[in-house]
Chains A and B, each alone.
Chain A
Amino acid sequence: MDTLMAPDGAAPPEGGDAAYPGILYPGPAPAELAEDPAYFHDLHLDDVVRAVTSGRDRYRLEPFLRARCPDTACIAYRQAVFRDLEDEPTAAAVRAFASGMEEVRRCLERLCKIHYVHEGGWWFLQAGLAYCNAVTGLRDGLGARPLRSMALLGLRQVLDDYTASASFRDLDRDAAAVANGLAAIRYRLRIAGPRVAVGRVAPDAPDYGAEVLATFERFRQGDGREYRFKFSERPELNHVEAAVADRVALLFPAEFAALAAFSERHAAFTDSHVERFDREVQFYLGFMGHMLLARRAGGGFCYPDVADGGGEASVEGAFDLALAARLATGGRLVVVNDVELRPPERILVVTGPNQGGKTTLARTVGQLFHLAALGVPVPGRRARFPLVDGIYTLFEREETVEDLVSKLEDDLRRVRDILARITDRSLVVMNETFSSTTVADQSFINRRVLEAVAEAGAWCVTVTFLDELASLTPATVSMVSTVDPDEPARRTFRIVRRHADGRAYALAIAEKHRLTYPQVVARARR
């Protein structure tokens, strides 16, 4: 974890309940996974991780997105936090806290780059102000909300104790007093030739720019252009600016003495619980940001009902989360599908024309198993999923292997390893597997593999062009991708059946353009 403070180690926890577990796990957290699980790439979960963590590198959220929850209690713990964050004022308070903490870090980072003493004192003061604002803002923001989650209720208690402590109250009071003193200072500058003179402001000094503007106001025809000038964005002072500040300090010695005293009194001021929350809450904010993007592509989210070893996997209105983000960026809409596996069904066989969204559906289902186990809201209107003990994928690899025999062998080895590990709580996702051999071979091998999967009682989604696989066992459900019968060239990506419409073409087309009499009256009258 990043520490905000001095290089000689993290500040010791101070106030609050040192046993508070944070907002990700109700108990002790497991070790963090350093690498993506093997199935992430095939299911495009690596894209989801990239999108969720983008701009949040500093928080190192990847481990949080890799590890499925150990039990349903952990899922419930996280879902409750998401539900609390649906309350916009609560989410706003958390976002404000997060950006406040970023501000704290920015100010402290400045300290390494400055050359002048008042300048350093000013940045340290800003860090202190931002920190106090962030912490009290979060406490007040959460205090007024009807929280339900154990995680945030615990945090609220931790914050109440911490902000009532003497050390925090001293920090808060000193920072405000010093800042107010500096803000009240106003002085005069006279620049002529190589000299700049700093003096007191005359009480009747006019705003001459405003006087000029008033004279010419009568000509004004509308909002004109504004003249803005760019100045060096360098945050560090140059020696002339520092010399001016030194002279202002001579005019206002008490205010500048207070500034110097602040840095000495409050050298290390951050709290370990506050720092931990700052990191962990980014898991929630990052995922919620990604949900917002997916919603722009027309996708909705729900809290899945996740059962320990449950017998049902079903979802309405599901979509590929990685695809939705890409479509939203291009201003397009995602197509949603329903999937239902009820006992004794466990195996979904997706067939139908190419380019119909079959692979996307298989990915979607795979993603949903993982996301449901992460404790996050999943793409769909309503969902029930079992908590799985493993997810395995077998996708046609993109690289061309010249030696087809060795490729087949390679695939078979992979499938053998998978079959050796699966249980009745595992998920297998297969996409056009064994396509490097003859159709008869493919049929034979796939049949054997599916039988083994059925025997193990595992969950499975397979995409294939082999229709005979769709009715192999009672555990098998068949779904078919479709195209629009009116415009066969258009891909629908819907995995549903549709009937052709028998209306007269011209009137149908008038209706399509909403040009029948009642349609025109209604449209033209508004």
Chain B
Amino acid sequence: MKVRLLHPESDLDLAAPLPPASDDLVKDLGLDHVFAAMGGGDRFLLEVSRRVVLARVDDPAVIRWRQDALDDCARLPGMARDLYSVALGAIERQRKVWGWSSTFAESVVRRAVETLELLIVSMRQIREVARANAGQVQSEAFRRLFAQIEAELDDAFLAEVEGHIKRLGGRDEVNVTASLGAATRSTGFVLTRRTRPRAWRERLGLPEQDVYVYEIAPRDEAGSHALGELRDRGLALAADAIARSSDHVVSFFTQVRDELAFYLGCLNLAAAVAGTGAPLVRPQALEPGSDVLEADGLYDLALRLVSQGDVVGNDLACQGVRLLVVTGANRGGKSTFLRSVGTAQVLMQAGMPVAARRFRADVRPGVLTHFRREEDATLDHGKLDEELGRMSILVDRVAPAALVLMNESFASTNEREGSEIGRGVIEGLLDAGAAVALVTHLYDLANGLAAAGRSDAWFLRAERLADGRRSFRVVDGEPLPTSHGQDLYASVFGPVAEA
């Protein structure tokens, strides 16, 4: 039985390594606020959500698989929570029996059998949940899971399980076959069971033909210990089989728990956002290659979750665009806009709803961030070295067609040098197939990119209203040389503190 609620062909693997740039991504986009909302106070839900979101899927069909399953969970929240709690219950039951770091095969067998006795209850429970909801779910993910449970956990199977439990439980006699190993010590044990009733001579304790019996003396403690060890050697392989059997059952329930945890996280997030009155929408994930980025009312989800005030939304209609350059005033909403683009891309590729009224974009093999760090904010060759070191690592990690978000990169040296280096890096990334969204106050850099006349470039400016106030919106517009010189000076020489 395969759970496969997150992917039609593979299991969620919580131990899989995350993409290498994940820490930067979380920090730069403020994703911890999103994960906290998904956890809703539950550390396990938070951790599973974090891993699933960062692990990213690149296939639009898998994204739709999750979107459909999530729609079922949203319509039938009771079903999702019931499945989760049955799975949780099975794991708890197992934990009660399992202190088993035991080194003795015989006690491992005993505990495995006890566990199976308890897990049979969970098997019956999950069958009930499946039966109650099989007619109502619409996603392929849940329909397939429920059909499997119905087929595999039938009455005949449960009877077979009970047969094993009875046979393995509480019998003193060990029957094995063996061969001669090192020093003529018995080895190669195979547990066997009787296939015919006991012979009358054996029942009466009389000598049998071709059977040689050794009996340890009543007070032979060393012998008693040695005999116990022989029993244990005889049972070792079988104990492995029986304990693994019990583990298999637990692993199934663990998989159910882990995969449901992500959907419960999504429900938690939806509830948290609903409380602010902001919209969430099921995005449309497109096959790669069209370089589409379209959105209505796209906003920064992390900011919405932590801010009391208004959070502005932006509209975008980019097709065939691989370079997005945002210039304009500091504290004008540029970074916020960049984060909203990155966050929507990341959540879409987890199969989640995104923070907008409408969102449509290519799937991308990775979102990489290069955000200016506080420690880069001085003119010092050591800082440039450090910044470019991070950029170099990013170049190593970038896959063709990945999305690179740069926030005030190349600002740790003077404008002329920063722009020179920056153009080389950005045009190099674009010509290697990546997409770049750049927020910069370096006029030299932005203007150089504009003057290159690329057809796949799109320029935006942080809006400044007629009265000089900022709207925190970004609007179409080429970079302007005259504006914000003072801001520029301050941001290069002083500490940078953008919203």
Seen from chain A, the residues whose Cβ lies within 8 Å of a Cβ on chain B are 110, 114, 116, 118-119, 122-123, 126, 182-183, 185-202, 204-213, 215-222, 224-232, 235-245, 247-248, 250-251, 505-507, 509-510, 513-521, 523-525
Task: Let me know if B238 is at the binding interface, CB within 8 A.
Answer: yes
Query: Can you add 14 more A-B contacts, CB < 8 Å, to A110-B183, A182-B184, A195-B213?
Result: A188-B178, A195-B215, A205-B190, A208-B238, A215-B157, A218-B157, A220-B248, A221-B252, A227-B108, A235-B182, A514-B395, A524-B428, A524-B429, A525-B400
Given A245-B184, A523-B395, A191:B400 Cβ within 8 A: no
In the complex the two chains form, is A207's CB within 8 Å of B244's CB?
Answer: no
Tell whether, in the assembled complex, residue B237 and residue A209 are in contact, meaning their CB atoms are under 8 Å apart.
yes
Residues in B whose Cβ lies below 8 Å from that of A523? 395-396, 432
Complex contact A224–B433 (CB within 8 A): no
- Tell whether, in the assembled complex, residue B212 and residue A224 are in contact, meaning their CB atoms are under 8 Å apart: no
A-B interface contact total, Cβ < 8 Å:
282
Nearest Cβ on chain A to B89's Cβ, whole angstroms: 16
Residue B308 at the A interface, CB < 8 A?
no
Q: Chain B residues near A192: list those with CB within 8 A.
A: 172-174
- Min CB–CB distance A217 → chain B (angstroms): 7
B246, A216: Cβ atoms under 8 Å? Answer: yes
A191 in contact with B247 (CB, 8 Å): no
Query: B185 near A: Cβ within 8 Å?
Result: yes
Counting from the closest, the 8 A-B pairs by CB-CB distance are A520-B428, A524-B432, A209-B241, A209-B238, A216-B245, A247-B212, A240-B226, A199-B211
State how many angstroms separate the Cβ of B93 from the closest Cβ of chain A. 15
Question: Are A207's CB and B190's CB within 8 A?
Answer: yes
Q: Is the CB of A241 within 8 A of B104?
A: no
Main secondary structure of the interface of B (DSSP, over half): helix
Asked if B427 and A191 make an inter-chain contact with CB atoms under 8 angstroms apart, the answer reads no
**Residue in A200, A212, A247 whose Cβ sees the most chain B Cβ within 10 Å:** A212
B180 touching A515, Cβ below 8 Å: no
Provide the residues of chain B in CB contact with A197, threshold 8 Å: 208, 211-213
Q: Is B239 a contact of A194 with CB atoms below 8 Å?
A: no
Is B392 engaged at the interface, CB distance under 8 Å to the other chain? yes
Q: Decide yes or no whether B155 CB sits under 8 A from chain A.
A: no
The yes or no answer to B223 lying at the interface (CB within 8 A) is yes
Chain B positions 103-151 with a Cβ under 8 Å from a chain A Cβ = 103-105, 108
- A183's partner among B179, B241, B246 (CB-CB below 8 A) is B179
Smallest beta-carbon distance A515→chain B, Å: 5
Query: Are A524 and B395 CB-contacts (below 8 A) given A205-B195, A241-B185, A507-B421?
Result: yes
Which residues of chain B from 175 to 208 have any CB-CB distance to chain A below 8 Å in the complex?
Answer: 175-180, 182-186, 188-193, 195, 208
Across-interface contacts of B177 in A (CB, < 8 A): 186-189, 201, 205
- Could you say which residues of chain B place their CB within 8 Å of the CB of A226? 240, 244
Chain B residues with Cβ below 8 Å from A229 are 103-105, 108, 232, 236, 239
Which single member of A185, A210, A218, A251 contacts B241 (CB below 8 Å)? A210
Nearest-neighbour CB distance to chain B for A415, whole angstroms, equals 50
Q: Which residues of A contact B208 (CB under 8 A)?
A: 197, 199
B434 contacts A by Cβ under 8 Å:
yes
Query: Judging by beta carbons under 8 Å apart, are A191 and B173 in contact?
Result: yes
Q: Which B residue sits closest to A504, measured CB to CB?
A: B417
Instruction: Tell me how far the C-beta of A149 lies from the nearest C-beta in chain B, rounded to whole angstroms.
Output: 38
A-B residue pairs in contact (CB < 8 Å), sample of 18:
A110-B183, A182-B184, A189-B178, A189-B186, A197-B212, A206-B192, A209-B241, A213-B244, A217-B248, A221-B11, A221-B248, A229-B105, A229-B108, A239-B223, A513-B391, A521-B431, A524-B428, A524-B429
Q: Which residues of B225-264 have CB atoms within 8 Å of chain A's CB atoms?
A: 226-227, 229-234, 236-249, 251-252, 254-255
CB-CB nearest in chain A for B238: A209
Are the C-beta atoms of A520 and B246 separated by less than 8 Å? no
Tell me if B216 is interfacial: C-beta within 8 Å of chain A. Answer: yes
Bound-state CA distance A194–B213 (Å) is 10
Q: Which of chain B's residues has its CB closest to A199's CB?
A: B211
